[in-house]
Chain A
Amino acid sequence: MLYREAGDFKTSYVEDAQTFPIAFDRWRYYAVLAVAFLVVPFFIDQYWEKAVFIPFFVFAIATMGLNILTGYCGQVSLGTGGFMAVGAYASYKLMTAFPDLNFFFVVILSGLITAMVGTLFGLPSLRIKGFYLAVATLAAQFFLVWLFNKVPWFYNYSATGQITAPERTVFGIPVTGPAVAPWASYLFCLVFVVLLAWLMRNLTRGTLGRQWMAIRDMDIAAEIIGVDPLRAKLTAFAVSSFFIGIAGALFFAVYLGAAEPTEAFSILQSFIVLFAVIIGGLGSIFGSFAGAAFMILMPVLLKNTLVGTLGWPTAIATHLEFVVVGGLIMVFLVVEPHGLAALWRLAKEKLRLWPFPY
C-alpha cells in the first residue's frame, strides 16, 4: 500500500525526471543516507571499518567505474586492476611529493591521472571491439603492473618495491596511516561513494550517457544519427578510469595502507570487478552496489558463519567459500541473466501492483 505512484503528483519537468519517482523510494533513499552519515559513524569499530565497509565502498566505486565502460558504453575491459594500480601509485607519488596537500585533492588528482592513462589505453577501442578489446585491455593490466615493478621512481626507490601510505589528513583529521579513527576513514570513503554515484547518475541520464548507450546498442546506427564514436568511447574510458583511479587510491591509502603491485593489483582484481558488474547488472548504479556487495561481503559473511559460528576448520570453509560463491554466480546468471539489478527492478514492479496483481 505504501509503494504507490498514486497521489504523488508531479507538477514540473524536474519532478517528473527525478531519480526516485515513488515517494516511498525517495524516503527510503534519504533514510539510507541518514543512517550511513549520522548513525553508523557512532557505532563503527575497526573490524567493521576495515573488513566490511571500506572494501565494500572501494569496490563499489570500482564497479561503478567499470559499469560506465562496460554496462553503459559496451566496451569490455580487463584492465581494472592495472588502472587501480595507476590510482594507487599516483596517490603515493602525490602524497610523498606534496605532504601538506589535503588528502581529498590527492584522491581527486589520482583519479584525473588515471583518467588520462585510461584514455590512452582506450584508443584501441576505436578499431577493435568485444573480445579483441578485452585482450587489448588485458595488455594494459600486465603492462602497468610490470611498469610499477620495474621503474623504481614509482616506489621512491625503496628496497623492496613496497609502497606504504604515510599519514595524511583532511581538515586536520588523519584519514590514512595506522592511527586513523574508524569513523574518519569510513566517512571519507562514504563521501566519495555518494559523490561519485550522484555524478554517475547525472552523467548517464544526460547527453553523454545517451551517447554511450547509443554506441553500446549499435555503434554504426549511433554514428549515423550523429554520435561521434571517438568522443563517446574516449569519454567513457576517461570517466570510467577516473572512478577506478579513485577506487585504487582509496584501496591503497585508506584500506590496505601498504601494497605491492603484483599481489594487490593482480588480474584477480580485474575479474572481481568485472564479475561484480555482471552479477550486479550491466548499466545500473544499484547493480554496481549489489554486485560489489556480493563479491566482497559474501565471502566475509560466509567465513564468519562457517568458521565463527559453526566452528569449521578454516581451510574447508575457504574451499567451500569458492564453491558457494561460484555456485551462486551460476544460479544468479541462470535465473536472472541481467543481474541483481533486474531482480530488484522486478521486485519493485511487483510491489507497485501488490496486493492486486493482474
Chain B
Amino acid sequence: MRLTRIALAADAAATIAGPALAELVIPTLNYRTGPYAPSGIPYADGYSDYLTLVNERDGGVGGLPIREVECETGYNTQKGVECYEATKGEGSLIYIPQSTGITYQLIPKATEDEIPIHSIGYGRTSAHYGKVFPWVFNAPGTYWDAASVMVKHALEQSDGSLEGKSVTLVYHNSAYGKEPIRTLEELAEKHGYELTLLAVDHPGQEQKSQWLRIRRERPDFVFMWGWGVMNQVAVQEASNIRYPMENFIGVWWSGSEADVVPAGAGADGYKAVTWHSPGRDFPIYEHLEEHVHSKGLGAGDGSSIGSVLYNRGLFSAAVTTEAIRKAQEIHGVADITPPMMRDGMEALDITEARWAELGLPDFTSPIKLSCADHGAPGLAAVQQWDADAQRWSLITGFIEPDESVVDPLIEADALAYAEENGIEPRDCE
C-alpha cells in the first residue's frame, strides 16, 4: 500500500500542466514501439510534420497555433485508455486512434464526452452511417469499400467474371482483420467465387501454416488485411511459395515500403489498394523542406519522408486542419471546442482545387462529408510495387465500390448497434 501511495503522489505532481493561452490541441495516439512500429512511425512523422508546417508557415489555423500532444500506445488498448484519459482534459479537439481496437473502445466514451473521433479508413465500418454515429467519422473510406474495390479489380483481371474462382483472405485475427469478411461473403454470393478465410494471430510473425495451405490450394486471388510486421512476413512467404504477386492484393494498411522491401525482388508486382498517391512529387514537399526539415523541426529521424504511410499522415493531418478551418468558419470563433470541431468535420468539403492549394494536386479524390455520410467518398485505387525501381505506383484510377452491396450492410449494422445501445437515429434533414 505504501508503494502505491508514493507512486500516486509523484503521479499527481507529474500531471499538473496546462498553459492558459488559446491553442488548438490535437492529441496523437502514436505507436513508435512494438510489433506495429514499422507501420506506425512513418504515419506519425507525416502527421506531425504537417502540423508543424501549418504552424511554421501559416502560424497555425485561423491565427491560433496547433499544439500536438503525443501519446505512445504501442497499439495496446490498455495504453490507449490511459492516453485518452490523459489527453482529453487538455481540450483535445479530435481523436485519431490509429487502431481499430482502440477505436471500438473509444466510440462509446468519446460519444459520451462529446469529442469527435476520426478513424481514417479503419475502425468501425458502420460509423459511415452518421445518423447513428454522430461523433465518429471514417472518411475517406471503409474496409467494406476496400473489399469491394479489391473484388472489382479481381473481376477486371479475370475478364469480368469470378464464377468458379477462389479467393483467400489472409487476415489479422482481430476486429480489424475481421471487418471485411461480411462484405467478401456477400460479394462471393453475388459473383460466385469461393471464399477461404485464413486468420493470422497477433503479432503476425508466424504464418507458415497459412501459406502452406495457400501453396497447396493455389487460390486465384489472395487478399490481405495485415498490419505491422505481419505484412512483411506475408509478402516474404508469398514470394517463397512463388505465388503470382499480381494476384496478391493487400488492403491500404498492407501497402507501404516497409512491407515489400524486405522481400527484395520477390515482392515485385504485389498490389495494394490505397486512397492517395504514393511518392513525393508534390509541391507540399518543397514547403516541408523549407519550413520544417531544413529547420530541423521534423518528427522522427527523417528516414520515412516520402513513404506511403508518411503521405497518409500528411493526408490525415490535412483533413484535420481543414476541418478546424471549417469549424472556425461556421462558428466564427478561432478557439473552437470539440463539438464545433465535429460540425467542421461534418461540413468538410475539400475540392480538387483545395487539394491543389494545399500543395497536394492529384493526390487524392475530393472529400465531402455530411450529417448522414461520415465515410465519403469511399473511392480507392490500386497501386503496384516495382521492386527494380523500388517504388509504388498507381495502376488504376479511383474505383467506386459496389454501393448496392456495401450500403445496405452498413445501414443494417449501424441500426443493429443503435438498437443494442438504445440510440435513436437522428434526423439528418
Contacts of A216 in B (CB 8 A): none
CB distance from B108 to the nearest CB of A (A): 4
User: Are the C-beta atoms of A314 and B104 separated by less than 8 Å?
Assistant: no
Contacts of A179 in B (CB 8 A): 112
Contacts of A286 in B (CB 8 A): 1
Residue-wise, chain B 57-83 has the 8 Å CB interface mask toward A (1 for contact) of 000000000000011101011100110
CB distance from B132 to the nearest CB of A (A): 14
Question: A176 vs B109: C-alpha distance in the bound complex, in angstroms?
Answer: 11
CB distance from B137 to the nearest CB of A (A): 18
Contacts of B124 in A (CB 8 A): 160
Q: Report A53-76 residues with CB < 8 Å from chain B CB.
A: 55-56
CB distance from B32 to the nearest CB of A (A): 4
Chain B's closest residue to A180 (CB) is B112
Decide yes or no: A162 and B175 within 8 Å by CB, A47-B86, A51-B81, A304-B14 being known contacts.
yes
Contacts of A32 in B (CB 8 A): 1
Whether, in the assembled complex, A169 has its beta carbon less than 8 Å from a beta carbon of chain B, the answer is no
Partner of A255, one of B81, B111, B178, B202: B81
Whether, in the assembled complex, B181 has its beta carbon less than 8 Å from a beta carbon of chain A, the answer is yes
Decide yes or no: A314 and B175 within 8 Å by CB, A51-B81, A166-B420, A258-B104 being known contacts.
no
Contact size class for A?
A: 35 or more
Whether, in the assembled complex, B10 has its beta carbon less than 8 Å from a beta carbon of chain A, the answer is yes
User: Are the C-beta atoms of A263 and B202 separated by less than 8 Å?
Assistant: yes
Question: A314 vs B76: C-alpha distance in the bound complex, in angstroms?
Answer: 15
CB distance from B293 to the nearest CB of A (A): 17
Contact size class for B?
A: 35 or more
User: Are the C-beta atoms of B181 and A308 separated by less than 8 Å?
Assistant: no
Contacts of A260 in B (CB 8 A): 101, 104, 174-175
User: Are the C-beta atoms of B85 and A50 separated by less than 8 Å?
Assistant: yes
Q: Is the interface of B mostly helix, strand, loop or mixed?
A: helix
User: Are the C-beta atoms of A149 and B199 separated by less than 8 Å?
Assistant: yes
How many residue pairs, one in A and one in B, have C-beta atoms under 8 Å apart?
Answer: 132
User: Are the C-beta atoms of B77 and A262 separated by less than 8 Å?
Assistant: no
Question: A32 vs B77: C-alpha distance in the bound complex, in angstroms?
Answer: 31
Partner of B4, one of A51, A178, A293: A293
Q: Which of A133-141, A205-213, A222-230, A295-303 contacts B (4 or more CB under 8 A)?
A: A295-303
Question: A55 vs B11: C-alpha distance in the bound complex, in angstroms?
Answer: 15
User: Are the C-beta atoms of B1 and A289 separated by less than 8 Å?
Assistant: yes
Whether, in the assembled complex, A21 has its beta carbon less than 8 Å from a beta carbon of chain B, the answer is no
User: Are the C-beta atoms of B105 and A297 separated by less than 8 Å?
Assistant: no
Whether, in the assembled complex, B201 has its beta carbon less than 8 Å from a beta carbon of chain A, the answer is yes
Chain A's closest residue to B100 (CB) is A160
Chain A's closest residue to B105 (CB) is A258
Question: A283 vs B389: C-alpha distance in the bound complex, in angstroms?
Answer: 62
Contacts of A255 in B (CB 8 A): 81
Contacts of A317 in B (CB 8 A): 72
Whether, in the assembled complex, B30 has its beta carbon less than 8 Å from a beta carbon of chain A, the answer is yes
Question: A178 vs B173: C-alpha distance in the bound complex, in angstroms?
Answer: 26
Whether, in the assembled complex, B8 has its beta carbon less than 8 Å from a beta carbon of chain A, the answer is yes
User: Are the C-beta atoms of B112 and A301 separated by less than 8 Å?
Assistant: no
Whether, in the assembled complex, B15 has its beta carbon less than 8 Å from a beta carbon of chain A, the answer is yes
CB distance from B85 to the nearest CB of A (A): 4
Decide yes or no: A309 and B179 within 8 Å by CB, A314-B32, A318-B74 being known contacts.
no
Whether, in the assembled complex, A249 has its beta carbon less than 8 Å from a beta carbon of chain B, the answer is no
Whether, in the assembled complex, B413 has its beta carbon less than 8 Å from a beta carbon of chain A, the answer is yes
Decide yes or no: A262 and B173 within 8 Å by CB, A301-B14, A318-B32 being known contacts.
yes
Contacts of A298 in B (CB 8 A): 7
Question: A160 vs B174: C-alpha distance in the bound complex, in angstroms?
Answer: 7
Whether, in the assembled complex, A247 has its beta carbon less than 8 Å from a beta carbon of chain B, the answer is no
Decide yes or no: A256 and B105 within 8 Å by CB, A32-B1, A50-B81, A301-B14 being known contacts.
yes
Q: Report B1-58 residues with CB < 8 Å from chain A CB.
A: 1, 3-4, 7-8, 10-11, 13-15, 17, 30, 32-33
In the complex, the 4 A-B pairs of residues with the closest C-beta atoms, listed nearest first: A315-B32, A304-B14, A178-B108, A314-B72
Q: List 9 A-B contacts (CB under 8 A).
A: A55-B78, A56-B4, A298-B7, A301-B7, A304-B11, A304-B14, A308-B14, A309-B13, A315-B72
